[in-house]
Amino acid sequence: MRSRAVTALTGALALAIVSGCASGDATRSASRTVTYWLWDANQLPAYETCAQDFEKRNPGLDVRITQMGWNDYWTKLTASFIAGTQPDVFTDHISKFAQFADLKVLAPLDELPYTNKIEDSDYQPGLASAWTGQDGHRYGAPKDWDTVALFYNKEMAREAGLSPEELNNLTWNPEDGGTFEKAIARLTVDENGRRGDEKGFDPRRVKVYGLATNDAGDSDGQTHWSSFAASTGWHYTDKKTWGTRYNYDDPRFKETIDWYFGLAKKGYLPPQKDFSETNGPEVQFGSGTAATALHGSWMIQTYYGFKGVDAATARTPVGPTGKRATMMNGLADSITRNARNKEGAAKWVAHLASADCQRTVGRSGVVFPATKDGTDTAVRAYAEDGIDVDAFTEPVAEKATFPFPITDFGADVHGLMRPAMQDIYANDAPVDTLDRTNDQINLLLSQ
Q: What pLDDT shows up at residue 278? A: 83
Same fold, 9-144+331-389 and 148-327+407-445: yes
- Could you give the angle at the alpha carbon of 15 between the alpha carbons of 12 and 16, nearest 5°? 90
Nearest by Cα to 327 from 187, 415, 220, 173: 220
Q: Quick check: 312 and 221 in contact, CB under 8 A?
A: no
Instruction: Specify the pLDDT at position 71.
Output: 86
> In whole angstroms, what is the distance from residue 291 CA to residue 272 CA?
17
Q: What is the 3-state secondary structure (H, E, C) of 172-206?
A: CCCCCCHHHHHHHHHHCEECCCCECCCCCCCCCCE
Please provide the size of the chain in residues: 447
- Cβ(147)–Cβ(222) below 8 Å: no
- From first to last of the 447 residues of the chain, give the pLDDT tens digit: 343 333 333 344 344 434 443 333 433 334 799 999 999 999 999 999 999 999 999 999 999 999 999 989 999 999 999 999 999 999 999 989 988 988 899 999 999 999 999 889 999 988 999 999 999 999 999 999 999 999 999 999 999 999 999 999 999 999 999 999 999 999 999 999 999 999 999 999 999 999 999 888 789 999 999 999 999 999 999 998 899 999 999 999 999 999 999 999 999 999 998 888 789 999 999 999 999 999 999 999 999 999 999 999 999 999 999 999 999 999 999 999 999 999 999 999 999 999 999 999 999 999 999 999 999 999 999 999 999 999 999 999 999 999 999 999 988 999 999 999 999 999 999 999 999 999 999 999 998
Domain spans of the chain? 9-144+331-389, 148-327+407-445
CATH 3.40.190.10 fits 148-327+407-445, yes or no: yes
Count of alpha carbons within 13 angstroms of residue 103, beta-carbon side:
28
Beta strands at 148-153 and 292-296: parallel, antiparallel or unpaired: antiparallel
Contact 88, 341 (CB under 8 A): yes
Per-residue pLDDT, 29: 38
> How far, in Å, CA of 349 to CA of 20, rounded?
25
The Cα 268–Cα 356 span in angstroms is 45
> Which CATH number applies to 9-144+331-389: 3.30.160.340, 3.20.20.10, 3.40.50.1100, 3.40.190.10?
3.40.190.10
At 189, which amino acid appears?
V
Nearest to 51 by CA among 357, 336, 353: 357
Q: How many angstroms separate the CA atoms of 329 and 295, rounded?
A: 12
CB atoms within 10 A of CB 264: 20
Q: Pinpoint the alpha helices (H) of 242-319.
A: 251-266, 281-286, 300-304
